[in-house]
């Protein structure tokens, strides 16, 4: 099924939570909005963090950086634990789903799955596969594809065309709604959602979505046509065996960004994004963090943060 193209998932906690529920993940783990990267706002995020999803624009500066970084790692090498679950991306616009798979697969021991879970079955069947084999397996995994397509049509924006199979780019797209600057999500244990939002009642808390001021980036108040190229991309940042790993299906391998823990993953992801990557994004569009928070762990889907 070479050349598959999916309609992108919206960076929206309601959509994401419903998608994961349909795949058989127990709903006591939820994505929630993160309202900022200031200490006061981050204090609203349940700890520890287990994964972070970062949504960002693929700029020319970023592509130069990516190529140079990959060549450096190939030349100098890096330590990567065999415990990391990593897959390549061969389906255009599937970066959101692949980011979720990376986040959950690398925290599978913390997750709760319903009986007959499609996602659990996919992870178990692909555990011994190579990153390339996992990518091909997803191409033919109709249960996930159909669920993804259903969820992609359930966001706040409308699709301008039905899904179809077309030659794909390696980039991903996200839906957008007007009058907002960023798109962020975090994942929290269900009984933490209410208290987290109530900690700072004086703050103006509202959901942020990508701002529609750059038509050249392909952002619209209506979800773009499935044939339209929009250079936005999700990656996952996870803690595995004491290290922070960047998992990006467009790259040939996981990237080890140094030591971390469940307690420091959120701050480490913020530092990595702000100090190392933001300058690569800002000329065209501010970056967006999604914090993935689960129970005692948070995963930056930022599962919800906004970079300022």
Please state, in angstroms and as integers, the Cα–Cα distance from residue 76 to each residue in 72, 73, 131, 199, 250, following that order: 6, 5, 21, 46, 20
Angle made by CA atoms 187, 50, 108, in degrees to the nearest 5 = 95
First-to-last C-alpha distance (Å) of the chain: 41
95: annotated active-site residue: yes
CA atoms within 13 A on the CB side of 18: 16
Crossing angle of helices 142-152 and 118-126, rounded to 10°: 130
Separation of alpha carbons 126 and 140, rounded Å: 12
Active-site residue, from 102, 192, 233, 243: 233
172: annotated active-site residue: no
Residue position matching structure tokens 């679950």: 85
Residue position matching structure tokens 């065999």: 82
Angle made by CA atoms 130, 131, 137, in degrees to the nearest 5 = 85
Active-site residue, from 50, 95, 168, 220: 95
Residues with active-site annotation: 95, 233
């Amino acid at each position: 099924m070479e050349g598959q193209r999916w309609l992108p998932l919206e960076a929206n906690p309601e959509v994401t939570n419903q998608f994961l529920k349909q795949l058989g993940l127990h709903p006591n783990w939820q994505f929630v909005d993160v309202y900022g990267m200031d200490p006061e706002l981050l204090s609203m995020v349940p700890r520890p963090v287990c994964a972070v999803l970062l949504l960002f624009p693929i700029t020319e500066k970023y592509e130069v950086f990516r190529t140079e970084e990959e060549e450096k790692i190939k030349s100098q090498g890096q330590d990567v634990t065999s415990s990391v679950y990593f897959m390549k991306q061969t389906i255009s616009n599937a970066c959101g789903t692949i980011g979720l798979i990376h986040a959950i697969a690398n925290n599978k021991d913390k997750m709760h799955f319903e009986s007959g879970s499609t996602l659990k079955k996919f992870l178990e069947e692909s555990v011994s596969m190579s990153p390339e084999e996992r990518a091909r397996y997803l191409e033919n995994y109709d249960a996930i594809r159909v669920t993804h397509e259903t969820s992609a049509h359930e966001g706040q924006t409308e699709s301008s065309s039905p899904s179809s199979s077309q030659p794909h780019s390696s980039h991903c797209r996200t839906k957008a709604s007007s009058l907002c600057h960023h798109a962020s999500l975090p994942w929290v244990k269900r009984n933490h959602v209410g208290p987290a939002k109530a900690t700072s009642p004086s703050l103006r808390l509202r959901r942020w979505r990508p701002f529609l001021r750059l038509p050249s980036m392909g952002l619209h108040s209506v979800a773009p046509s499935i044939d339209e190229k929009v250079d936005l991309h999700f990656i996952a940042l996870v803690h595995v065996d004491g290290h922070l790993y960047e998992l990006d299906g467009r790259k040939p391998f996981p990237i080890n960004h140094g030591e971390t823990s469940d307690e420091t993953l959120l701050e480490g992801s913020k530092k990595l994004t702000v100090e190392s990557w933001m300058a690569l994004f800002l000329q065209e569009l501010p970056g967006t963090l999604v914090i993935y928070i689960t129970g005692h762990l948070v995963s930056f889907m930022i599962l919800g943060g906004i970079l300022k």
